[in-house]
Structure 1
Amino acid sequence: MTLPELAEEKAAGERLVMVAVGEVLTATWAERAGVDIVGVGDSLGMTLHGHENTLAMTIDQMIMHTQAVRRGAPNTLCLVSMPYGSYATPDLAVTNAVRMMKESGADALKLQLGREGTDIIRAVADAGVPVMSHVGLLPHKVHQMGGFKMQGRTAEAAMDIVADTRAIEAAGAIGLEIEAMPYEVGKAVDDAVDIFTFSIGAGAAGTCQLLNGYDLLGAFDTFKPKFAKRYANLAQDATDAFAAYADDVRSGRFPDAEHSYQMKPDEIARFETLLNSEGAT
């Protein structure tokens, strides 16, 4: 999958698959499974770093995580989020966007701006950086929004989201994320633009569906968003595995002969002779 193909897939009515991952193991699994896009979102601040929200993540951390994802999924289109505060002004956004593209190995970047940030989106796009944006629930505005809540609850709020969508496309973005809104609003967003769209928590709206990899694997179980579907329960499987290991160690069942290295009997005899000789001297 390449960036120009994203708009083509939308025009053709295709359905694409994206998962958010943050390190080499899950990236490897995603590529083996044939997902179309891996997203390195700053939600990993919550899933992998234990923060309450995404705001603490830094450019250095996002670059490091993206490099790891790239090593795990070298043949999959990769999108990385610019962290909070890294695109506050056009000049700052361009500087940080260029650095992230040069060092992370990502194919495109995503920020979280609507009509109020079209000058920033345009500056990044004009600098030659493939840039996407975000409508609906914006984790970088979690405090202004009063938490992680559904957006577009009223007709007026929905129209504001559509207006942001059109402004994002006009500013030169090549795609956008549609997050946490009723399907009808998400579909209106997708219909309003020709650029690639991907959704999470907006029903079947958009060209592409996104889920956080740690949610769908059941690895992150601190809380479960309404829109997340779990396809496995890795957190419980891992807890059970650690408990079984601890029990085996404490009972003396592990390590056993099967999981230990062996010397040949004649070498053991020679080794014991050498040890005895050393003790005698």
Structure 2
Amino acid sequence: MSTQKKPSRPEKITTQTVVEMKQRGDKISMLTAYDYTMAGIMDAAGVEVILVGDSASNVMAGYDTTVPMTLDHMIYHTSCVVRAVDRALVIGDLPFMSYQVTAKEALISAGRMMKEAGAHAIKLEGGKSVSSTVKRIVDAGIPVMGHLGLTPQSIYKFGTYKVRAKEEQEAKELVEDAKALEDAGAFSIVLEKIPSDLAKKVTESLSIPTIGIGAGPHCDGQVLVIHDMLGLNKDFSPRFLRRYEDLHSKMTDAVSHYISDVKSGDFPNENEQYN
């Protein structure tokens, strides 16, 4: 009889896990992913949360904004990511106009994201204006992450990607929005491109975790777009972005080397062919 132990599965990250991390003071790492291969690498590396963001519109499809993404697009990308993941919490973005019209439509969209894509939670933008929608979705058993501050789906309303909530009134409304999302049942909130002091105030006022992007160090966690963080995207350089690698240059060099080897006849060599 074999006494060999089966390899233990990694402990699954859940929405409750990230709430408990806030309570313990443990920082939460979150990155975006849009495909199977990249998601598998990130999950193996130990990231707690993977966001399948509608930023796929920019980095995967080449659009200028996130507005063109459809629910079917997001379901496809999310399903690719979910199949690669053993441990991380996978959150799927609800895209523009998939939840803003009615709470019923939002619930149907969220349900499709969970059933067809296998997402563990969904994310949507907005505060008090969507709080009743958030409650409807949460009451149906679907975890919701909120998103305040710079909300890219509203770019045509604001007309700029500049820092939000610098003025006193907008800052006050953001604090109220965060509380409304918490009261509606959201398990976490992304704070994008707001003053650090305001992010600190919001974070300390909530029992649910905040995830910052361009919101300073006081949030309970941080998120970056993987293509930006790895230096695949050379054209986007906001102050909050730290590039951990320059894969754009490395991949360009690798492709150039391949082309050279093909042209010279060096590839394939004797060890790279069948007899």
TM-score by length of 2: 0.92
Calculate the aligned-residue CA RMSD, in Å: 1.2
CA distance in 1 between counterparts of 2:120 and 2:114 reads: 7
Aligned residues: 262
Q: Give, in angstroms, the shift of residue 169 of structure 1.
A: 1.0
Q: Give, in angstroms, the shift of residue 12 of structure 1.
A: 1.4
CA distance in 2 between counterparts of 1:249 and 1:233 reads: 25
Q: 2:55 aligns with which of 34, 43, 57?
A: 43
CA distance in 1 between counterparts of 2:61 and 2:218 reads: 30
Q: Give yes or no for contact 2:171–2:198 (8 Å, CA) kept in 1.
A: yes
Counterpart position of 1:158? 171
Structure of higher CA gyration radius: 1
Counterpart position of 1:186? 199
Counterpart residue type for residue 259 of structure 1: E
Unpaired segments ≥5 residues, structure 1: 264-281
User: Which whole-Å deviations, capped at 9, do the CAs of 1:150-188 have from their partners, x for residues lacking one?
Assistant: 112122221121111111111221111111011101111
Task: State yes or no: 1:236 paired with 2:244.
Answer: no
Partner secondary structure for residue 143 of structure 1: helix
Q: 1:69 aligns with which of 71, 81, 85?
A: 81
Return structure 1 stretches of 4+ with deviation > 4 angstroms.
none
Counterpart position of 2:9? none
Counterpart residue type for residue 242 of structure 2: K
CA distance in 2 between counterparts of 1:51 and 1:128 reads: 33
CA distance in 2 between counterparts of 1:23 and 1:149 reads: 29
CA distance in 2 between counterparts of 1:148 and 1:71 reads: 33
Counterpart position of 1:130? 143
TM-score by length of 1: 0.90
Q: Give yes or no for contact 2:48–2:87 (8 Å, CA) kept in 1.
A: no
> Matched residues, percent identical?
36
Partner secondary structure for residue 84 of structure 1: coil
User: Which whole-Å deviations, capped at 9, do the CAs of 1:127-170 have from their partners, x for residues lacking one?
Assistant: 22111111100011111121222112122221121111111111
Q: How does 1:197-212 map to 2 (within 5 A)?
A: 197-212=210-225
Counterpart position of 1:96? 109
User: Which whole-Å deviations, capped at 9, do the CAs of 1:220-276 have from their partners, x for residues lacking one?
Assistant: 223222211111111111111111111221222222212222x2xxxxxxxxxxxxx
Q: Give yes or no for contact 1:113–1:121 (8 Å, CA) kept in 2.
A: no
CA distance in 1 between counterparts of 2:230 and 2:59 reads: 12
Partner secondary structure for residue 90 of structure 2: strand
Unpaired segments ≥5 residues, structure 2: 1-12
Q: 1:168 aligns with which of 171, 181, 200?
A: 181
